[in-house]
Chains A and B, each alone.
Chain A
Amino acid sequence: MSVRAGMAAALRVPSRASSLRFRWFVVEAGWWVLSVGIVIGIWEITAALGLINTIILPPPHKFVAEIRDQSQFLMPQPGVTAIPLHFAVFTAIGASLRRVLIGLLLGSLAAVLTGSLAFYLWLFRNLTFPTITMLAPIAPAAWIPLAILAFGMGDGAAIFVVFVGIYFTLTLATLNSMNNVDQVYVNTARVLGASRRQIMWHVIFPAILPNLFVVLRMNFFAAWMGVLAAEMVGVRTGLGAVVVMGRQMMNMNLTFLGMAIIGLVGYLLDVGLGVLQKRVLWWRSAARV
């Protein structure tokens, strides 16, 4: 009898845990709705009472409701004949997204490569690292003028801005993490007969991956802002360009719509990176290292 009761309890545990998780999720979501709701509520009330200039600060219901009228401006190339709304929005988002993802990918690959070379070749490290250390604090947005001159007004400039935003910091992080890999892991591999290349591949890389992901995630927002800034000042397409176009045409509905989409997409990208991090580095989060 007691065995059966125990088994029943054991079987109940997972469903109870998942219902607890669901409850937590609902509560958490509730706070989000409340937090955003308060801001929107104050905004709407002050607008309705005529306390703010609705041309400069159009209330949310207005710029969200007018999304259909704005569709032409959310296209990647302003002035192209109208295409269905949802598609137009996605092309503007797609343009920004493509740039940031390509930039992140190229920047990460180049950074890991540079960091690894510096880890193995002291001459290379001593020659390059002082410069890289000096370049790392320059904000991605400060590279925009150079990027536009070098690559013209297009994808190239925007991707370059993301690239520099991620490359220098991640290179420093790569070398630093490699130097800090637990010596026990390296020694274990050496005792088992690993060559230098095998140690790099089977020990150093997997060991630094969690750190790199943390740095990448922290720098992602800088890269995201960099690409938007580039779209505002030079590259004439993407979400950044939409926001600026709204101001130029004194169409703040468009500007706020763009801002809302930027916030939402940036947030979703960070959530995506977080999920990826948990997936790729599941052993780390589970081990609570």
Chain B
Amino acid sequence: MGEIVCTNVTKVWGVGTTREVAALENVSFSVRHGEFVVVIGPSGCGKSTLLMLLSGLEMPTGGTITYDGKPITGPDADRSLIFQQPSLFPWRSTIDNVAFGLQLRGVPRKERRQQAEKFLRQVGLREFANKHPHELSGGMQQRAAIARALCLGADVLLMDEPFAALDVQTRFHMQSFLLDIWLGSGKTVVFVTHHIDEAAYLADRVVIFTARPGRLLDSVDIDMPRPRNVISPDFERYRALFVERLRSEVTRAFQEQELAEMLDTRIK
């Protein structure tokens, strides 16, 4: 399972205050079961907001979001959100971090550790089970965070620029790693990034958002066999397409931001 349908979704932050910000406006799109969807858009286009809504951490101010036909009313371990920032608890060992979700469900210690070890092995961190987060590299920490989501049997992985803080080498490695986990697993992935190459490399379909407030600009199916060659003419064509679609939006967002900053300094 794992079908998500958004209908006319709007999200305004800080409703009723002087700092109202429209993050999403009238967004309608759906994600099929088992699909790998990448969302791209200029900074501040509400990509992260979208994931907050899909995870159930936040409620939309307008429109509806359904998961397998049922409206989303709150967080659910079925849909796991993976953040850009390190989110492992620093006071827990890696294995206890991965087993945390099972612990919340009351699974006995021995059993949940066995389970967690299985997923640590899958993400290649078995030797680091008893290390603590500060002893792991950034890439390892994100792998552990993914293992933590998998350990609870999440059908949907919502990923908020999970590799943005990593260096280029590690980032590429992590992308292949994520595809390895996803291929044949039947899991649905909604992956947010501002990185065009990452989008073209990973996605079944790329969804492009406009600058704030975020609206749906385009949805592009990526018709390339996996594993993809990042220096092929096909890849180049998709890259050019995204750059073109985003350029006007980025320019607009940039100008708006400059204008806002200028006004800010005037007022001060």
Contacts and interface: CB of A to CB of B under 8 A. Distances in A.
Contacts of A288: 134
B62 interface: no
A289 interface: yes
Nearest to B52: A187
Contact of B100 (A195, A202, A284, A287): A202
Given A184-B85, A185-B87, A191 B80 contact: yes
Contact of B83 (A187, A193, A209, A287): A187
A288 B135 CA distance: 12
Interface in A210-240: none
A210 to B, nearest CB: 9
A188 interface: yes
B132 A188 contact: no
B81 A185 contact: no
A289 to B, nearest CB: 7
Contacts of A188: 81, 83, 87, 89
Given A184-B85, A191-B55, A284 B90 contact: yes
A287 B57 contact: no
Contacts of B104: 189, 192-195, 198, 202
Interface in A114-159: none
A284 B92 CA distance: 11
Interface string A245-289: 000000000000000000000000000000000000001101111
A203 interface: yes
A190 interface: yes
Interface string B14-36: 00000000000000000000000
B148 interface: yes
B77 A191 contact: yes
A188 B88 CA distance: 8
Contacts of A284: 90-91
B105 A193 contact: yes
B134 A192 contact: no
Interface string B38-77: 0000000000000000010100000000000000000111
A193 B91 contact: no
A187 B81 contact: yes
A289 B90 contact: yes
Contacts of A184: 83, 85-87
Contact of B134 (A193, A195, A209, A287): A287
B134 A185 contact: no
A206 interface: yes
A287 B81 contact: no
Interface string A80-110: 0000000000000000000000000000000
Given A192-B100, A192-B104, A283 B80 contact: no
B147 to A, nearest CB: 12
B109 to A, nearest CB: 14
Nearest to A203: B89
B2 to A, nearest CB: 15
A212 B223 CA distance: 55
B152 interface: yes
Contacts of A207: 91
B89 A193 contact: no
A193 B90 contact: no
Nearest to A190: B75
Contact of A286 (B55, B77, B87, B134): B134
A187 B55 CA distance: 10
22 contacts: A184-B85, A184-B87, A185-B89, A187-B57, A187-B83, A188-B83, A188-B89, A189-B104, A191-B79, A191-B81, A193-B76, A193-B77, A193-B152, A202-B89, A203-B89, A206-B89, A206-B91, A207-B91, A283-B132, A283-B134, A284-B90, A288-B134
Nearest 8 interchain pairs by C-beta = A287-B134, A192-B101, A193-B77, A188-B87, A206-B91, A191-B81, A190-B75, A184-B87
Interface of A: 184-185, 187-195, 198, 202-203, 206-207, 209, 283-284, 286-289
Interface of B: 55, 57, 75-77, 79-81, 83, 85-87, 89-91, 100-101, 103-105, 132-134, 148, 152
Given A192-B77, A207-B91, A283-B132, 7 more contacts: A191-B79, A191-B80, A192-B152, A198-B104, A206-B91, A287-B132, A287-B133
